[in-house]
Structure 1
């Protein structure tokens, strides 16, 4: 992953915009990573594999509440392990 300062990104945005089409670009601010610039296609790919849902505790569906009470942690997903590298 390429790394660039926020100031450098502003100065040469077109270059890093082009680079982000091929690989993520890490943007640092005061020496700390603050964001990652990536292509719209890569963003959509990542969003498509994120199937999480958020609920308030008081609005949990009964089946999810029963699973939590029983200690169920979901089905194993070894076919997704490659995404964690």
Structure 2
């Protein structure tokens, strides 16, 4: 991934607009990365991956209906043999 200072990026945006179709570009300011310039395709792929990622929640963040459903859930009797393993 190429790193470009922000001032150079602004001055040569047209050049980087084409280059970003091949690879993402890190934009730096005072020697530190401040952001990334990515193609529309890469950004859409990122959004898709982000939407598909798993989320974990603290019990206090769950709706009462979900907490109740978890508390009253029963395992299918086809898996009763697994309960014997816990004894």
Judge same fold: TM > 0.5, yes or no: yes
State the partner residue of 1:43: 43
TM-score by length of 1: 0.63
TM-score by length of 2: 0.62
Shift of the alpha carbon at 1:55? Answer: 6.8
The RMSD of aligned alpha carbons is 2.3
State the partner residue of 1:11: 11
The 2-side partners of 1:57 and 1:14 are apart by: 49
Aligned length: 64
Which blocks of at least 5 consecutive residues in structure 1 are unaligned? 67-85
Shift of the alpha carbon at 1:60? Answer: 1.3
- Give a deviation string over 1:8-52, Cα, whole Å, max 9, x none: 001100011111111000000111000000000110011112224
CA 1:57–1:10: 2 relative to 1, 3 Å: farther
Shift of the alpha carbon at 1:54? Answer: 8.3
Where do 4+ consecutive residues of structure 1 move more than 2 Å?
Answer: 51-59
Question: Who wins on radius of gyration, i.e. which is larger?
Answer: 2
More displaced 10-residue stretch of structure 1: 47-56 or 34-43: 47-56
Counterparts of 1:1-85 in structure 2, within 5 Å, are 1-50=1-50, 51-52=52-53, 58-61=60-63, 62=66
